[in-house]
Structure 1
Amino acid sequence: MMRALCTLLLFLLPTLVLAHAGSQGLILLLPTEIYITAGAIAVVVTILLAAGLNHGQLTRLFTPLTFGRAPAPFTVLPSLVSSMIFACLIWIGLFGPSDPLANLMSLTTWTLFWILFVIFCGKFGQLWDWVNPWAGLYSVLMGDGDPPAKLPTSLGYWPAIWLLFAFNAFGISNPAATDPIQLAILGSLYWIFTFLMMVIFGRDWLKRGEFITVFLALLAQISAFGRDERFHFGFPGWRIVAAKTPPITLALFSLTLLGTGTFDGFNETFFWLAQLGLNPLEFPGRSAIIGETIAGLLAANLLLIALFYGLIYLTTPASHRSEMFCRQALTILPIAFVYHFAHFLPSLLVDIQYTVKALSDPWQTGADFLGLGQFYVTTGFFNTLATQRVIFLTQAGAIVIGHIIAILLSHRVAADYFSTRRGVLISQIPLSVFMIGYTVLGLWLLATPKGA
C-alpha cells in the first residue's frame, strides 16, 4: 500500500518539456543558490537512502501492481485518422497564415506534439502506437506479409540516432525552425521517406529506424502505467528495471536525448555565447552561428557518452561492463524527460494560448469555431516576481524529482550485478557524483541569463 501511495504521489507531482522555448521574460533575481543547494542536498539524501536499501527492498519498490485484463488494442483506425489530420496540417502549413504563431502546422508540431504529446507519453505510456501516421495505412495496403528486405541487425538503432541528431540540429540551429512552409515541406518528405522505408523493411523500420517511434517508446518506459495482456501500475521506471538488456545503440540513443536536451539549454546562455566571442546583448542571430551550434551539439553528446562510459568503467568488472553501460544508460531517461519539461515550460505557457486561438480560427478569416470571443494571448506571468518564482520552482522541482527517480533506478540495476550492499554502494559512487553534478547544472541552466 505504501509503495502504491508513493508512486501515486510522484505521478501527480509536476514533471515535463525540441522547438524553442520562449525567451525568459524576467532574469531570475531570486536566491537561486539556495534552491540549487537544496536540490543537490535532496539528491544526496536520496543517494544515502538508496544505499541503505537492500536488493529485496529495491525489487519490491520497482515491482508493479497488476490488475484486470487488457483488451487487444485497435490501432488501425486511430492511425488512419492521424494520417488525415497530418495531411490537413501540411495543407495549412503550405497555404495557411505565414505567421508561425497563427499557423496550426507550426503550433501542432512544436506545441501540441513535441511538448504536450511527449508529456502524455511520459506520463501514460505508449500512446504513439495508437496515433502514429504510418502504421494504419501500412496495415491497409501491405497487410501482415513479410517485407521485401530485412533491416540488418548490425545497424541496430543507428538510423534513429542520426535522424534524431538531424532533427535536433534543425530545431536548435535553424533560425526558421518554426516556419510553417518549411515544416510542411520537410514533414511531407519525412512522411514519404518513412513510409517507403516501411514498404522495404516492414514495421522493423518503425521500431529501430524511425526516431520519433524509438524516442516515445523509450519515454513510455518511465510511465507508472503499462499494459500487455493485463494492466500494470508501479513506481515510475519499473519497466526499465523489468526490461532485458538493451542493444548498445539504444543506450546511445538514450544518452543522446539527455545530451541534446542539456545543450539546448546551454547554447542559449551568456557563458556559451562568450565562448563563441559574441556579446549576448548584441546577438547577431542564429544564422550567424549555425556551424558552431551543430558542432557544439555533437561535442556535447560525445562528451556525455564518453563520461558516462568512463564512470561505468571505473567500478564495473570487465565481464559486466558492456551490459551495465547499456542498462544504466536507460536509467537517465527520467532526467532527460524532466529537462525536456523544465526547458520548455515557459514556451508551453505561451504557445498553448496561440494554439487555442489558431484552432478557433485556423485560416485567420475571423472565424470563431471554439466560441472564444475576444481572446488575447498574455505573457504577463513572466513579468512578476511571484509568478516567475512559481514557474522556476516548478521547473526546479521537476528536475530534482527526475534525478531522484534516476538514482533509485540506477541502484536497482546495480543490485543485479553486485551481491553485497557494499558492492552496490561502491559501484554507485561515480554515478552518484555525476547525478549531483547534473542536478546542479540543470538548476543553473534554469536560473542563468539567456542571450539567444
Structure 2
Amino acid sequence: MYRRGARALGVVVGLAAICGVALAHGGTLRDATQQELAVPTWLFLSTGGAVVGASFLLASFVTDRAFVAAVHGWTRRLPAPRRLLAWVGRVAGLVGFVGVVVTGLFGPSDSLRNAAIMLVWVGWWAGLVMATYLVGNAWPAVDPFRTLTRPVARVAPEPIRDLSPGRAAWTSAVFLLVLVWVEVVSPLAEDPPLLATAALGYLAVATVGVLAVGHGEWFDRVDPLARLFRTYGAVAPVQRTEDGLRLRLPAARLTDSIVSTPGDVAFVVALLWGTTFDGLVATPAWASLARVVVPLGVPALVLYPAALFVGFLGFHRLYWWSAHAARETAPTYTDARTLAVRFVPSLLAIAAGYHLAHYLVYFLSLSPALVGALLAPLNPPTARTLVLPGWLSAVGVAAVLLGHLLAIWVAHGTAYDQFPGRLQAIRSQYPLTAVMILYTMASLWIVGQPEVTPPFL
C-alpha cells in the first residue's frame, strides 16, 4: 500500500510541477483573516498541557461503569423528513457543483469575489466541515460526485475488482494525504479556472473509482472526501441510524466500534495530521526552516511532500507506540492491534477541535464575501470581510482544549468498555494521555503563531 501511495504521490508531483506558482489554500483569503493570539506562548502551552493532564486525573475518579455507560448511551429520536432532506441536499449539491464549475471558468478573477473560490474554501471546507462535527453529517445527501456517478453504476454494475476493508481504508488515507498536499502547494485558492478544472478532475477520478470497485464500495470505503465527512460526523450530536435521526451527547458515538482495521487507524491519524500540517506550513518557524533547507539543495517540491509524509509517519508511529505501551501499563493479553483500533476514535475529537480552531475566524471573517459572491455569482459586489474582535482568537485555544478534553473522556469510556478491571482501565490510558498532551502542545503552538505565506512555492 505504501508503494501505491508513492505512485499516487509521483503523479501529483507532476501535476504540481505544471501548476507553477503555488500557495497554501489561504492565499489572499488568509491575508484577509489574520489574527494573532494575545497570550504569551509559554503560558497557553503549559496551561493547555496541564489542563489535559488534570482532566485525565479527574476522569479517573469516575469509576461507576453504569454511569459511564449511561452517559455515552443516552439518545433521543429526532423526527425529520429524511427523504425530503435528502432530495434538498442532492439538489443543493448539484447546484453547488455546477456553480463552482461555471463561476470558476467564467467568474471574476479576484478570489474574494469569485463564487467558486468562496463556496469551496469558505462555505464547504470551512463551513460545512464545521457543521458536520458540530451538528451532523449531511455530506452523503449533498455529495455531487455521489449523485453524478450513479448513472455510471447503473451502466457498469459489475466492479472490476474487490478491495478488502483494510486496503480500502489505506487507499483512502493515502488519497487524503495527497489531497492535503495539493491543497497546500497548488494555487487553487488563487486561480478559479484551475479550481473548476480540479472539481471536474475529481469527478473523473470518482467515475473511474466507481467503475473499478463499484458505487457503494467507492463512496463507503475508498473516497477520501466521503470518509472524511463520515469520520467527522461521528463526533456530532445528530447521528443517522436505521430508524432515523437520533440525538446523542457530542462525541458519545466515538466510544462505539466505528473503526475495524489498521487502515481505519491510518485514516484517522492522517485526518489529524493533515489539518496540523496545513497550519504548520503557515507558521514563521516553518518559513525559517524552509529558507535554510531549500538553499542547501532540497527542492521545495520535495521538502513539502516529504514533511507531510514524514510527519504522518511520526504521528502514526507515536499512536501505535501508545497502543503497545498500554498492554504493559494495563496489563492485558489484548493485542496492540485491538487496542489501537478501539481507542483511535478518541483522536477524532482532537481533530475536530483543531479544525474549529483553524477555521472559525476564517469562516466568520469571510462570510460577508461568501454571501455577496453567492447572491451575484458572475457579477458580485465589492468583497467585504468582517473585522472581528481580538479576543475571538482565544476561541481557537478553547476549541483545541475542548477537543482534547472530549478525547480524554471518550478514551475513559472506551477503556471501561474494553477492560474488566477499574485500575486496569485507568492504567491503560496512561500512554494515550501522554500522546494527547503532545498533540495538545503542538496544536496550541500552531494556533498561537501568526500566519505567513509558505515560502518557495
Sort the TM-score into its range (normalised by shorter chain). Answer: 0.7 to 0.9
- Secondary structure at the aligned position of 2:260 is classed as coil
- Secondary structure at the aligned position of 1:416 is classed as helix
**1:278, CA displacement in angstroms?**
4.4
Select the residue among 25, 34, 37 that pairs with 2:43.
Answer: 34
Select the residue among 70, 73, 76 that pairs with 1:66.
Answer: 76
**1:415, CA displacement in angstroms?**
1.9
Residue identity (%): 22
Select the residue among 193, 204, 207 that pairs with 1:195.
Answer: 207
Counterparts in 2 of 1:266 and 1:136: CA distance versus 1, 3 Å? closer
Write the letter of the residue equivalent to 1:41: A
The question of 1:331 aligning with 2:340 is answered no
Matches within 5 A, 1:405-420: 405-420=406-421
For 1:298 and 1:60, the matched residues in 2 are separated by 40
User: Does the CA-based 8 Å contact 2:235-2:349 persist in structure 1?
Assistant: yes
For 1:141 and 1:266, the matched residues in 2 are separated by 40
Match of 2:10 in 1: none
Give the stretch that moved more between structures: 150-159 or 56-65.
150-159
Match of 1:343 in 2: 358
Match of 1:274 in 2: 288
**1:58, CA displacement in angstroms?**
1.9
Match of 1:358 in 2: 373
Aligned pairs, how many? 416
The question of 1:182 aligning with 2:191 is answered no
Matches within 5 A, 1:293-312: 293-312=304-323
**1:190, CA displacement in angstroms?**
0.9
Write the letter of the residue equivalent to 1:35: F
Instruction: State the TM-score, normalized to the length of structure 1.
Output: 0.84
**1:272, CA displacement in angstroms?**
2.2
Match of 1:172 in 2: 184
Match of 2:107 in 1: 96
User: Does the CA-based 8 Å contact 1:40-1:439 persist in structure 2?
Assistant: yes
For 1:444 and 1:247, the matched residues in 2 are separated by 32
**1:250, CA displacement in angstroms?**
1.4
Match of 2:16 in 1: none
Match of 1:320 in 2: 335
RMSD: 2.8
CA deviation profile, 1:275-329 (whole Å, cap 9, x unmatched): 33449xxx99xxx733211111111111000011011101224633101101212
Counterparts in 2 of 1:245 and 1:91: CA distance versus 1, 3 Å? closer
Match of 1:218 in 2: 231
Match of 1:243 in 2: 257
For 1:238 and 1:396, the matched residues in 2 are separated by 22
For 1:313 and 1:220, the matched residues in 2 are separated by 28
Match of 2:3 in 1: none
Give the stretch that moved more between structures: 97-106 or 223-232.
223-232
Matches within 5 A, 1:221-236: 221-228=234-241, 229-236=243-250
Give the stretch that moved more between structures: 147-156 or 307-316.
147-156
Matches within 5 A, 1:246-265: 246-265=260-279
For 1:144 and 1:184, the matched residues in 2 are separated by 26
CA deviation profile, 1:166-200 (whole Å, cap 9, x unmatched): 11001112245441111111110111221342244
- Secondary structure at the aligned position of 1:233 is classed as strand
CA deviation profile, 1:327-375 (whole Å, cap 9, x unmatched): 21221001111111211233223322221221233222xx67xxxxxx6
Write the letter of the residue equivalent to 1:347: Y
**1:207, CA displacement in angstroms?**
0.9
Give the stretch that moved more between structures: 339-348 or 236-245.
236-245
- Secondary structure at the aligned position of 2:417 is classed as coil
Matches within 5 A, 1:75-114: 75=86, 78-114=89-125
Match of 1:445 in 2: 446
Match of 1:125 in 2: 136
Unaligned runs of 5+ in 1: 1-17, 369-374, 382-386
Counterparts in 2 of 1:378 and 1:240: CA distance versus 1, 3 Å? closer
User: Does the CA-based 8 Å contact 1:93-1:181 persist in structure 2?
Assistant: yes
Counterparts in 2 of 1:222 and 1:176: CA distance versus 1, 3 Å? closer
User: Does the CA-based 8 Å contact 2:369-2:385 persist in structure 1?
Assistant: no
Write the letter of the residue equivalent to 2:46: T
**1:112, CA displacement in angstroms?**
0.4
Write the letter of the residue equivalent to 1:93: G
**1:82, CA displacement in angstroms?**
1.9
User: Does the CA-based 8 Å contact 1:80-1:136 persist in structure 2?
Assistant: no
For 2:78 and 2:365, the matched residues in 1 are separated by 40
Counterparts in 2 of 1:174 and 1:143: CA distance versus 1, 3 Å? closer
For 1:345 and 1:213, the matched residues in 2 are separated by 22
Unaligned runs of 5+ in 2: 1-23
**1:397, CA displacement in angstroms?**
0.7
